[in-house]
Amino acid sequence: MAKLFVVGFSREMDEISLLELFTTYCTVGTLTIVRDQETNESRCFGFVTVLDPAGAKRAIEALDGIVIDGRTISVRLTGNETSQKQEPARPFSRKPDQGSKTQRAKRPRR
């Protein structure tokens, strides 16, 4: 499974139109258009979950950069598919060259 980020389509595009666009190239699991909470208008981006990675690649190659209703859409993988593992954060550790508070020179008071 792969999750795609789709951005740049018009506010008039609905879920059915976006689904028809993607099903030409891949098998879609879920599709979400992000909407404004107050007005329910499209925010012109959404997410498509594709069931097979090869289909996701086909969809990206075919749809990224095309113009629909006068707007260029962008299709790319979300950050969830990266194979690189990030180092865990150590929020309370100091870098070796920082030293401790007692080693810091104190400034004179004003």
Whether 108 contacts 50, CB under 8 Å: no
Class of domain 8-80: alpha beta
Q: Name the pTM for this structure.
A: 0.69
Which H/E stretch holds residue 3? strand 2-7
Question: Who has greater pLDDT, 101 or 108?
Answer: 108
Domain spans of the chain, in order of start: 8-80
Looking at every residue in the chain, the average pLDDT score rounds to 85
Residue-wise pLDDT tens digits, 69-92: 999 999 999 986 544 445 555 565
Q: What is the mean pLDDT of residues 56-64?
A: 96
Whether 50 contacts 31, CB under 8 Å: no
Pairing of strands 28-35, 42-50: antiparallel
The answer to which of 21-25, 51-55, 76-80 has the lowest mean pLDDT is 76-80
φ/ψ region of 67 (left if φ > 0, alpha if ψ in -120 to 50, else beta) reads: beta
pLDDT class of 109 with cuts at 50, 70, 90:
confident
Whether 60 contacts 54, CB under 8 Å: no
Position 106 scores a pLDDT of 72
